[in-house]
Chains A and B, each alone.
Chain A
Amino acid sequence: MEPIRTLRSRTVVLPASDVDTDQIIPARFLTTTTREGLGKHLFADWRYGPDGAPRAEFVLNQAHASGCSILIAGHNFGCGSSREHAPWALTDFGIHAVVSTQIADIFRNNALKNGLLPVIVEPAAHRWLIEHPGAEVSIDLDSSTLTLPTGEAIRFPLEPFARYCLMNGVDELGFLLAREAQISAYEARRGQA
């Protein structure tokens, strides 16, 4: 995984609350056996009409969304299914941070393992971000802050181990494999040869 220390981008705003992973990527695209190329199916049923043509009114189809890597989402983003295809689709599309007042547990876990940063902010900051689409914001992992164009820096909670892994490009599997001795000792304690 590539280390991430800072992120700077204009925002794209999708204010709907309770956006579930079936919207992020509908189940019919889960028949894939790889993790690549899912960006084209991101928000498929909101993004494309029945004829497959992009819907001009959907925010990700608009010119200003191009190149934005920070998504400002409504409350409780990513609820529902455990499909990791959701963060795969977002990152393949070019989204590298999701900012909300709440992010569902499994989606958050999956996001962190794929270099997609879940950022939880207080309602006041969230309201500002929702009301200012296209604002140029920056995210700094070391200080766990999101800085608005006004210069206001907003701290957000980020689990220290997740931050360490993101900033150093460490993958958790390597960390777990290095716990081999403890795992074997645990199994021995439980009476499992």
Chain B
Amino acid sequence: MTAPLTLFEKVWRSHEVVPETPDTPAVLYIDLHLIHEVTSPQAFTVLRERGLKPRRPERTFATMDHSTPTRTEQVFGGAPISVEAAARQVRELERNCAEFSLELLGLRDARRGIVHIIGPELGLTQPGKTVVCGDSHTSTHGALGALAFGIGTTEVGHVLATQCLLQRKARTFAVNVHGRLPEGVGAKDLILAIIGRIGVAGGTGHVIEYRGETIGALDMDARMTVCNMSIEAGARAGMIAPDETTFRYLAGRPRAPQGAAWEAAVAGWRQLPSDPGARFDREIDIDASALEPMLTYGTNPGMVIPVGGAIPERPDDPVFAKSLAYMGFAPGQPLREHPVNVVFIGSCTNGRLSDLRTAASLLRGRKVAAGVHMLVVPGSQQVKREAEAEGLDRVFIEAGAEWRESGCSMCLGMNGDLVPKGHYAVSTSNRNFEGRQGIGARTLLASPLTAAACAVRGRITDPRELL
């Protein structure tokens, strides 16, 4: 009888081309390689320099999301991309994909979107697969039971040339979540609370598996929000065991197996969940029923409190003091009622249809407060179409928000969608690092519901007051 295995160990074992030894890392096979315009150009340069070709071009999919415009006239109307270097990067990806025969969902493709939104949406991401991308939020795909992690550009070149990576096996970390999430508290609040608990380096060297009945009750969009921010806790990847929710989500998607192949795939996927008695290197328990809407107050995602709470006091910590000085906050200060200048709804964390529905549910019949700039950027063109079919775009526009084409947008501002210096932005994205959304921008990470509530009141607001 074999020892019980975790989900991670099962996926790892089935992808070992050469197992690791004390002297050498494992050669790990990569099923799905996603690339985008920012972290791939130098990898193609290496292929050219060494006379190499992609070993399995059908396993790489390219899209453009980081430096692409979100204004309709710039995407579809022929207006130039305002950042010239960004335009050059877009052209270079087009050229590289053509030269190396890689499938590209280009700027005007109806299937384009943020790479971590479209992988699952198209059914490319599947349980038990290894998925990599030159992007740390590749952890998102773990929500489907894939082993998915971010890599650097050198490794992008390795995967293109060999379909493999050299990897040391990570340790395992079970985050067990029990209890029912209270009304007004969602997946974003849950993952922010987990990061607040274990810290931004708490997951380093580990692959997290999110477990427990609370996780099982989440829909796929919510599971992706949770896994997406695993990297914000320093973890190599986040995973959730595939179940009926996963299979229902994937069934019929264009790149998912069809017909008899679907039945066979599902039978295999049912074997993936961690075996009873499987041992994790580390475990923690989270009581979801005690959670509240969460909001960050500092310059990393671990600096987080309930929206009604007060900023902690750490008198002997100069880094903490510097972070608060950047944010313009004081120790002990409550966040509620603090003025807000910008609200951003979107990103690979919260740019899916259910996120937009949640935000719209609060905005319907209400207005964005005077002086607040609210930007809503769907995670993909498909999300945009689905949202428009439900009339969500009208809700946002009538409330006074801007409704854009899909992309990473204001999460990191590469395309020029920036938060002005000193402004407070309540953002559904994943990073509140200094300058992330613009030089001097002050980011407060929150759920779509909290962000919408802050937009309506123009002040930091507990969304439960408006439900």
* B-binding residues in A (CB < 8 A): 15-18, 20, 22-23, 26-28, 30-35, 45, 50, 74-76, 79-84, 102, 104-106, 109-110, 113-114, 159-161, 164, 172-173, 175-177, 179-180, 182-183, 186-187, 190
19 more CB-based (< 8 A) A-B contacts, given A84-B153, A105-B205, A173-B162: A20-B433, A31-B83, A32-B85, A33-B92, A76-B200, A81-B431, A82-B138, A82-B150, A82-B151, A84-B39, A104-B201, A109-B152, A161-B25, A172-B154, A173-B158, A180-B162, A183-B27, A186-B17, A186-B29
Most chain-B Cβ atoms within 10 A of its Cβ — which of A16, A31, A106, A179?
Answer: A31
B23 and A113 within 8 A (CB): no
**Nearest Cβ distance between residue A178 and chain B, in whole angstroms?**
10
Cα–Cα distance between A77 and B45 once the two chains are bound (Å): 28
- Quick check: which of B106-114, B393-401, B434-442, B450-458 contacts chain A, the rest being far away? B434-442
B88 at the interface (CB under 8 A from A): yes
Q: Which residues on A sit within 8 Å (CB–CB) of B324?
A: none
B18 and A179 within 8 A (CB): yes
A30 and B414 within 8 A (CB): yes
**Nearest Cβ distance between residue B103 and chain A, in whole angstroms?**
17
Contact A18 B435, CB 8 Å, known A33-B88, A79-B200, A79-B201: no
**Nearest Cβ distance between residue A103 and chain B, in whole angstroms?**
8
A176 and B154 within 8 A (CB): no
Cα–Cα distance between A159 and B168 once the two chains are bound (Å): 9
Nearest residue (CB) in A for B303 is: A18
Cα–Cα distance between A8 and B217 once the two chains are bound (Å): 55
B300 and A20 within 8 A (CB): yes
> Per-position contact with A for B297-309: 1 when CB-CB < 8 Å, else 0?
0001010000000
B27 and A182 within 8 A (CB): yes
B161 at the interface (CB under 8 A from A): yes
B154 and A74 within 8 A (CB): no
A16 and B42 within 8 A (CB): no
Nearest residue (CB) in B for A163 is: B23
> Per-position contact with A for B230-254: 1 when CB-CB < 8 Å, else 0?
0100101000000000000000000
**Nearest Cβ distance between residue A84 and chain B, in whole angstroms?**
4
A16 and B164 within 8 A (CB): no
Q: Which residues on A sit within 8 Å (CB–CB) of B436?
A: 22, 27
A82 and B152 within 8 A (CB): yes
Q: Which residues on A sit within 8 Å (CB–CB) of B150?
A: 82, 106
Q: Which residues on B sit within 8 Å (CB–CB) of A16?
A: 319, 322
Nearest residue (CB) in A for B18 is: A182
B166 at the interface (CB under 8 A from A): yes
B17 and A75 within 8 A (CB): no
Residues of B in contact, count (CB < 8 Å): 64
**Nearest Cβ distance between residue A101 and chain B, in whole angstroms?**
9
Which of A26, A35, A176 meets B166, CB within 8 Å? Answer: A176
Nearest residue (CB) in A for B58 is: A192
A176 and B414 within 8 A (CB): no
Q: List, sorted by A's number, 11 A–B pairs whose CB atoms are closer than 8 Å.
A: A28-B414, A35-B153, A50-B439, A81-B136, A82-B39, A82-B135, A84-B39, A160-B24, A179-B162, A183-B162, A183-B163
Q: Which residues on B sit within 8 Å (CB–CB) of A182?
A: 17-18, 27
> Per-position contact with A for B356-382: 1 when CB-CB < 8 Å, else 0?
000000000000000000000000000
Q: Which residues on A sit within 8 Å (CB–CB) of B136?
A: 80-82, 106
Nearest residue (CB) in B for A83 is: B39
Cα–Cα distance between A18 and B204 once the two chains are bound (Å): 12
**Nearest Cβ distance between residue A190 and chain B, in whole angstroms?**
8
Most chain-B Cβ atoms within 10 A of its Cβ — which of A105, A159, A180, A186?
Answer: A105
Which of B27, B151, B158, B434 meets A45, CB within 8 Å? Answer: B434
Which of A31, A83, A84, A179 meets B67, CB within 8 Å? Answer: A31
**Nearest Cβ distance between residue A82 and chain B, in whole angstroms?**
4
**Nearest Cβ distance between residue B87 and chain A, in whole angstroms?**
9
A183 and B22 within 8 A (CB): no
B340 at the interface (CB under 8 A from A): no
Cα–Cα distance between A32 and B136 once the two chains are bound (Å): 19
Give the contacts of B125-177 with A (CB-CB under 8 A). 134-136, 138, 150-155, 157-158, 161-166, 168
Which of A18, A104, A110 meets B319, CB within 8 Å? Answer: A18
Cα–Cα distance between A84 and B154 once the two chains are bound (Å): 8
Nearest residue (CB) in A for B29 is: A186
Which of A33, A74, A84, A105 meets B204, CB within 8 Å? Answer: A105
